[in-house]
């Protein structure tokens, strides 16, 4: 069945996939359960004879997958508690169905603010593959928090449409297990239900997909609920999307030597943009400044700063670097730009705009420890250099003798062995230890697009970079933007669309695009 589903997605039999959010794309089910339990347990203590505390079975039976107020009413009915419905505007202190629902919402938002939102590691690559195949995607959720959850997770730009609990209010649409939300998503995607796939982890959602006449209903059993999903109408059940053997040749890695030079493709670039406004995301080392032996020697030229200034007057420009935020911001020195330091863990922009990854702080102790261990281990290797960043520790070995390179990597691996919450990444003559979470330059760029309100329908994101870490951004923008690789002799293959030969060509491109935008505005 997995192979038949994959083939149907590749050959155009299915033109869209409509995903539930919580438990399918984002890992917020735990936070939802905890917030429901916190709210209900506190309320049940005020009701004599209302039974024991709220359990996971209660959550799955009465609440999961349903609109919030319907979930409250369903659980209260199971405990023979009758309250007036109230209105969605009720205070969280009100003893009404809506009041309790709003109380739960406050608890949930506090948890998200504290812990952030994780995305299942298999979800984004699967969605990106669908984009490569020309399959449209949408999110459906009964929650009224869909927009804020997606924004916090940095995934809004991945989906063409979102239908959520706010669409239920006053629209006449019914919540799950009725199929209305899924049917509305299909309507917005301009596909017939029979041409679309539904992916759901909740019984109510699977029932909704089946009732809507959708071409296929995927049950997503991340917590081992296969039997219940099949019994309620799932055509196929997966534990992760990686089990579906769907691949795309639409955007494979290409030989960098064969790609067109972006300077010769400015007309094509503007043709891709159409009516959309270009937004530029630029790496620093190797892109705005040449690669140097010592990272502290990478100085931005006056000519490059002038080109950036001219472009930023006509378009949104962001610098996305592995360097610390304060370091790259000081080196560029332009207040009109946005900055993402530490591969996007630490962000800032004009008028005090600021964001740090909510999970970053819990890795600082491990980073401190590996910094100390590597400092001692690498000190004996001539030419190797340890660089501490706020959310990473880098080891540069460009100046070390080739015979010593294995020693450098061995030292990095030894430091990593005691810290399983960190991961090793590579680059141009560099090893880097970073937090072991699903976050990279690509995820950071998508998050920034969401946070700044730069959706893909009205803006064309353009990313220019030279390194292995920039491939994450090229991958994330596949299908919605343009990747430009600054190639050198070390570059073999890439996910980029165009190339540039060195930082001087980067400067010329930025200047040419800025001039073109200025002419269009005149």
Catalytic residue among 22, 201, 283, 466: 283
Contact 306, 508 (CB under 8 A): no
Judge whether 249 lies within some domain. Answer: no
Give the CATH number of the domain where residue 290 resides.
Answer: 3.40.50.1000
Which pLDDT score is estimated for 53? 92
Residue from 503, 292, 296 nearest 399 by CA:
292
Residue 288 shares a structural domain with residue 376: no
In a domain, 43, yes or no: yes
Residue 248 lies inside a defined structural domain of this protein = no
- How many domains in the chain? 4
pTM score of the predicted model: 0.56
Q: Does the bond joining 177 to the residue before it have cis omega, within 30 degrees of 0?
A: yes
Residue 54 belongs to a domain with what CATH number? Answer: 1.10.150
HEC per residue, 5-51? HHHHHHCCCCCEEEEECECCCECCHHHHHHHHHHHHHHHHCCCCCCC
Residues 306, 368 within the same domain: no
Of 220, 243, 266, the one marking the end of a domain is 243
Length of the chain: 522
Is 55 contained in some domain? yes
Q: How far apart are CA 491 and CA 41, in angstroms?
A: 58
C-beta of residue 176 within 8 angstroms of C-beta of residue 74? no
Q: Are 473 and 320 in contact (CB under 8 A)?
A: yes
What pLDDT, on a 0 to 100 scale, did the predictor assign at position 397?
92
Q: Is 433 exposed, middle or buried (0-12, 13-18, 19+ CB in 10 A)?
A: buried
Residue 69 lies in a domain: yes
* DSSP structure string for 371-430: HHHHHHHHTTSTT-EEEEETTEEEEE-TTS-GGGHHHHHHHHHHHHHT-TTEEEEEETTE
Tabulate helix, strand, coil % of the chain (nearest 5). 45, 20, 35
Q: Based on the domain organization, do 143 and 221 belong to the same domain?
A: yes
What number of H helices and E strands is found in the chain?
A: 19, 20
Q: Are residues 155 and 301 in the same domain?
A: no
**Are residues 372 and 493 both part of a single domain?**
no
Angle at 54 between CA 46 and CA 98, to 5 degrees: 65
Residue 203 lies in a domain: yes
Looking at the structure, tell me whether residues 450 and 346 fall in a common domain. Answer: yes
Last residue of a domain, one of 435, 460, 489: 435
Extract the runs of DSSP E, i.e. beta strands, from 70-123. none
CATH number at residue 374: 3.30.70.1020
Last residue of a domain, one of 386, 404, 435: 435
* 96 shares a domain with 158: no
Tell me what pLDDT residue 170 has: 65
Do the domain assignments include residue 512?
yes
Helix/strand/coil for 324: coil
84 in a structural domain: yes
**Predicted pLDDT of residue 306:** 97
Query: Which candidate, 162, 33, 20, places its Cα nearest to that of 108?
Result: 33
> 98 and 36, same structural domain?
yes
Determine whether 504 is an active site residue.
no
Residues 278 and 330 in one domain: yes
Give the whole-angstrom CA distance, residue 155 versus residue 128.
11
* 211, 134: one domain: yes
Bridge-based pairing of strands 493-494 and 254-255 is: antiparallel
Q: Give yes or no: residues 129 and 223 share one domain.
A: yes
- Which stretches of the chain drop beneath a pLDDT of 70? 1, 170, 224, 248-252, 438, 479, 522
Q: Does one domain contain both 335 and 477?
A: yes
Q: In which domain, by residue range, is 209 found?
A: 2-28+118-243
Exposure string of 377-398, with b = 16+ CB inside 10 Å and e = fewer, is bbeebeebbbbebbbbbbbbbe
């Amino acid at each position: 069945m997995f192979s038949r589903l994959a083939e149907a997605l590749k050959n155009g039999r299915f033109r869209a996939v409509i995903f539930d959010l919580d438990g399918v794309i984002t890992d917020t089910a735990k936070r939802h359960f905890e917030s429901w339990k916190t709210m209900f347990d506190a309320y049940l203590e005020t009701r004599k004879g209302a039974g024991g505390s709220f359990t996971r079975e209660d959550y799955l039976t009465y609440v999961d997958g349903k609109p919030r107020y319907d979930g409250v009413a369903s659980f209260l009915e199971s405990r023979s508690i009758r309250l007036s419905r109230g209105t969605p505007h009720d205070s969280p202190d009100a003893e009404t169905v809506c009041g309790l629902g709003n109380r739960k919402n406050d608890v949930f938002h506090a948890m998200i603010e504290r812990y952030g939102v994780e995305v299942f590691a298999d979800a984004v690559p699967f969605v990106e593959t669908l984009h490569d195949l020309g399959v449209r995607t949408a999110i459906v959720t009964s929650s009224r928090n869909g927009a804020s959850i997606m924004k916090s997770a940095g995934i809004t730009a991945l989906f063409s449409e979102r239908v959520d609990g706010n669409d239920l209010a006053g629209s006449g649409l019914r919540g799950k297990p009725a199929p209305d939300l899924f049917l509305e998503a299909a309507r917005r995607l301009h596909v017939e239900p029979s041409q679309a796939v539904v992916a759901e982890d909740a019984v109510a959602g699977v029932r909704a997909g089946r009732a809507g006449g959708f071409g296929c209903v995927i049950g997503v059993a991340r917590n081992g609920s296969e039997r219940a999903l099949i019994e309620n109408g799932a055509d196929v059940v997966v534990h992760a999307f990686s089990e579906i053997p769907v691949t795309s040749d639409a955007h494979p890695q290409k030989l960098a030597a064969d790609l067109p030079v972006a300077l010769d493709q400015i007309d094509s670039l503007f043709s891709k943009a159409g009516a959309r406004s270009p937004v530029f995301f630029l790496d620093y080392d190797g892109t705005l400044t040449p690669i140097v032996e010592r990272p502290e020697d990478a100085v931005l030229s006056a000519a490059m700063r002038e080109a950036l200034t001219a472009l930023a007057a006509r378009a949104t420009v962001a610098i996305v670097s592995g360097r610390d935020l304060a370091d790259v911001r000081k080196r560029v020195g332009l207040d009109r730009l946005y900055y993402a330091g530490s591969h996007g863990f630490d962000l800032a922009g004009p008028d005090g705009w600021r964001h740090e990854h909510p999970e970053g702080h819990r890795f600082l102790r491990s980073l401190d420890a590996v910094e100390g261990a590597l400092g001692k281990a690498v000190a004996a290797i001539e030419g190797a250099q340890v660089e501490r960043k706020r959310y990473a520790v880098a080891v540069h070995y460009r100046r070390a003798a080739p015979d010593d390179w294995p020693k450098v990597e061995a030292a990095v691996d030894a430091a990593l062995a005691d810290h399983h919450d960190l991961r090793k990444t590579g680059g141009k003559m560099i090893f880097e230890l970073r937090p072991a979470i699903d976050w990279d330059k690509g995820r950071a760029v998508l998050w920034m697009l969401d946070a700044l309100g730069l959706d893909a329908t009205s803006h064309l994101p353009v990313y220019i970079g030279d390194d292995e870490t920039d491939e994450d951004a090229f991958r994330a923008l596949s299908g919605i933007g343009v990747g430009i690789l600054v190639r050198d002799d070390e570059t073999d293959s890439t996910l980029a669309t165009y190339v540039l030969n060195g930082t001087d060509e980067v400067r010329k491109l930025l200047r040419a695009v800025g001039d073109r935008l200025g002419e269009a505005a005149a």
